[in-house]
Structures are given as structure tokens and as C-alpha cells.
Structure 1
């Protein structure tokens, strides 16, 4: 399990390294462009269920800590879906990983 660490004082949210790698690509792309957005996640039943949301802003410190030493192979379809969600009023949230063939078609 990797960790997404955000803010000062910081909060730390655990994600599977594969999920975290995909979130990192989307979050850093938006932050590099100076874009702010909402990021939401759900807690497991073991953690008490529920969900949280934060406002991601380019001036607030963030960190991605990975447990494993190997960088996961990225699924383009998933990156595109997460990026699309990050541009909606509801903001970025973790969705199930699609297969590569489920990539959205672009005209």
C-alpha cells in the first residue's frame, strides 16, 4: 500500500500502488497546469466506511509514497477516465480499472 500525503499539516491516505500510480499522473498533470480540483475517495468497511473529499490546489504540498520498488505499468484507458472525472464538477475519484480496450474513442 502506498500513501498520498497532502497539505500542512498533512493528511495521509492509503492506496494500492497501482491506483496511486494512476492518480499521480492525473494529479500532477493538473497541478503542473495550475488547476485546482476536488479529489474524493471512499474508506473500506474495515476503516469504518464513509468517504472524504479535499480541494487540490497547486500551492499545497503533496507527496506520493510507494511501497513497492517497481513502477506499475499504466493503463491509458484508466488515466483518461480519471482525467475526465477530474474535470467534472464532482472531481477526481477512484473508479474500477477498465481494460485497455475500454479506452474512450476520440473523434
Structure 2
């Protein structure tokens, strides 16, 4: 299980390591280009029912923490799917099946 920490958010986002590795590629690419966008996810088990969205901006601290020390094999199709999502008005969405809790 990986964890995404963003800014001073009171809740870390727990995401499957492999999904987080793919998201990291897309997020880092967009932020390196100084592109801001939204990231949305459904709340973890143990949090109030609902979903959250954050505005990702290059000036806000962001940290990816992985449980596994080795880097998983990345799937280019999955990266492209996430990148396409990040470029839409709905923003990048973490698939429900990758949120842990």
C-alpha cells in the first residue's frame, strides 16, 4: 500500500503501490510542465462516505510513499489512460479499486 501526501492535508491518500507508481509518472510529468490539474478519489474505509478532489499545483508540496522498495513494472497503456484523464475538465481520477483503507 502506498500513500500520497499533498500539502497540509489532514488525510493521507492510501493507494495501491502499483497504481501510485503509475499516478506518480503522470503527476510528475504534468507538474514538471507547470500544468495544474485536479486529482479526485473516493474516501477510504474509515472516513466519512464521499469523495475528495484536490487542485495539484507545482508550488504545493507533494510526497509519494511506497510500501514496496522495488519499483513495479509500468504499463504504458495505464499511464496514457491516466494522462488522458488528467487532461480533461474532470481531472485525474484514482480508480476506486486502487483506494485502500
TM-score between the two structures when normalised by the length of structure 1:
0.82
Q: Do the aligned residues in 1 keep the contact of 2:2 with 2:64 (CA within 8 Å)?
A: yes
Q: Distance in 2 between the 1:42 and 1:88 partners?
A: 18
Assess, with a 3 A threshold, how the Cα gap between structure 1 residues 11 and 48 changes in structure 2: closer, same or farther. closer
SS at match of 1:25: helix
Q: Which protein is bigger by CA-based radius of gyration?
A: 1
Q: Distance in 1 between the 2:84 and 2:75 partners?
A: 14
Unpaired runs of at least 5, structure 1: 98-107
* In the alignment, structure 1 residue 90 sits paired with structure 2 residue 60: no
Unpaired runs of at least 5, structure 2: none
Please report the RMSD computed on the Cα atoms of aligned residues, expressed in angstroms.
Answer: 1.9
TM-score between the two structures when normalised by the length of structure 2:
0.86
Higher relative contact order (CA 8 A, sep 6+): 2
Aligned residues between the structures: 97
